[in-house]
C-alpha cells in the first residue's frame, strides 16, 4: 500500500524538479507568442548593439580617441538631432527621395558617400534662401553656382534642380579636396569658404578639424553631418520607431525631383 502511494509521489516530485530546471535554463530573449484573432505571431526583441560615440566618423575620418572635449561636443550635437527635437520622419522622407539621385553622382566623382547628408543639413533642416543669398539643395551662393555651371537668373535657378546642383557641388567638393586633402576640412570649407579655412589652418598651425577653434557654425558643421548620418542609419537607437521609419520610407515623395 505504501509502495502504491510512493510511486505517484516520486513521479510528481520528479516532474516538479524538471519544471524548475527548464524554468531556469530558458534564454533571456525567449520568443514570446502573441495571439491575435486566432493567429499566433512570434515576436523577438531586437538586441541593442554596443555603441560608443568614438565609433562615429565622417568619410572614414574618426573622432579623436580620448579627447573628452570632442566627445562631449559630439554627444551634445547628437542629442539635439534626436527624434523628439527634429521629428525626423520628415528627414527620412527627404533622404528616401534625394539619396537615389545623389549617391551615384557622388560615386562618379570619387566623393565619399557620407557627403549625401550635406544637403539634408544645408536645406533639409530649413528650406528656402539664407539671409546671405544661398539657396537650393546644396545652398549655393549665386556667384558660386554660376562658377560651377549652374544657371541663376530671373527666369531660372538651377540651384533648385537636385541633379544639376549635385553635379556642381561635386565639382566644388573635389576642388576643395585638392586643396585640403581631408574630407572633414573639405566639409568645413564648404560651410565657411576655402579662403577663410586656409587662413585658420595657417593661423592655428593645425589641420585637424576636430582640434581647430572655428566659429560656432563651422565648428559644429561636421558634428551635424555625423549626427544626421547617425539618426538616418540607426534610427531606433536614436528614438525613432521602426514603424515610423517604415512609413516614412514608403510614403510617396511630396515633390518632383528634376
Q: How many domains does the chain have?
A: 1
Task: Give the CA radius of gyration of the chain.
Answer: 27
Can you tell me which residue has the cell 560608443?
A: 52
| Per-residue pLDDT tens over the stretch 95-134 | 999 999 999 999 999 999 999 999 999 988 666 787 788 9
| Per-residue pLDDT tens over the stretch 242-257 | 544 444 444 434 344 6
pLDDT (0 to 100) of residue 231 = 87
pLDDT (0 to 100) of residue 161 = 95
Q: Where are the beta strands (DSSP E) in the chain?
A: 32-36, 39-43, 57-58, 61-62
User: pLDDT category, 237, cuts 50, 70, 90?
Assistant: confident
**Residue 166: inside a domain:** yes
pTM for the structure as a whole: 0.74
**Residue 191: inside a domain:** yes
Q: Where are the beta strands (DSSP E) in 44-121?
A: 57-58, 61-62
SS3 173: helix
**Residue 75: inside a domain:** yes
**Residue 87: inside a domain:** yes
| Per-residue pLDDT tens over the stretch 23-73 | 434 344 434 444 444 444 433 444 444 457 878 999 999 998 889 999 999
**Residue 92: inside a domain:** yes
**Residue 15: inside a domain:** no
> For position 64, which CATH number holds?
1.10.530.10
Structural domain of residue 133, as residue ranges? 56-250
**Residue 48: inside a domain:** no
Q: Which residues pair with 40 in a beta bridge?
A: 35
Distances (CA, A) of 229 to 41, 44, 233, 236: 33, 27, 6, 13
User: Taking Cα atoms as reference points, which of 174, 205, 223 lies closest to residue 70?
Assistant: 223
User: pLDDT category, 10, cuts 50, 70, 90?
Assistant: low
Is the Cβ–Cβ distance between 101 and 257 less than 8 Å? yes
Amino acid at each position: 500500500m505504501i509502495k502504491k502511494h510512493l510511486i505517484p509521489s516520486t513521479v510528481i516530485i520528479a516532474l516538479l524538479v524538471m519544471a524548475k530546471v527548464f524554468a531556469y535554463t530558458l534564454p533571456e530573449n525567449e520568443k514570446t507568442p502573441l495571439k491575435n484573432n486566432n493567429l499566433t505571431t512570434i515576436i523577438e526583441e531586437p538586441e541593442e548593439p554596443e555603441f560608443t560615440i568614438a565609433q562615429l566618423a565622417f568619410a572614414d575620418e574618426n573622432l579623436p580617441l580620448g579627447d573628452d572635449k570632442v566627445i562631449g561636443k559630439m554627444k551634445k550635437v547628437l542629442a539635439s538631432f534626436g527624434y523628439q527635437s527634429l521629428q525626423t520622419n520628415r528627414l527620412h522622407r527627404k533622404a528616401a527621395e534625394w539619396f537615389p539621385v545623389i549617391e551615384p553622382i557622388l560615386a562618379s566623382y570619387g566623393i565619399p558617400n557620407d557627403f549625401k547628408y550635406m544637403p539634408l543639413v544645408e536645406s533639409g533642416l530649413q528650406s528656402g534662401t539664407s539671409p546671405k543669398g544661398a539657396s537650393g539643395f546644396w545652398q549655393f551662393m549665386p556667384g558660386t553656382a554660376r562658377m560651377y555651371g549652374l544657371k541663376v537668373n530671373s527666369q531660372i535657378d538651377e540651384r533648385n534642380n537636385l541633379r544639376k546642383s549635385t553635379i556642381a557641388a561635386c565639382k566644388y567638393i573635389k576642388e576643395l579636396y585638392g586643396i585640403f586633402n581631408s574630407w572633414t576640412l573639405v566639409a568645413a570649407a564648404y560651410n565657411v569658404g576655402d579662403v577663410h579655412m586656409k587662413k585658420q589652418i595657417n593661423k592655428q598651425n593645425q589641420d585637424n578639424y576636430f582640434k581647430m577653434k572655428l566659429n560656432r557654425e563651422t565648428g559644429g558643421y561636421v558634428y551635424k553631418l555625423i549626427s544626421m548620418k547617425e539618426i538616418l542609419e540607426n534610427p531606433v537607437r536614436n528614438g525613432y520607431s521602426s514603424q515610423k521609419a517604415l512609413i516614412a520610407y514608403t510614403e510617396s515623395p511630396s515633390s518632383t525631383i528634376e
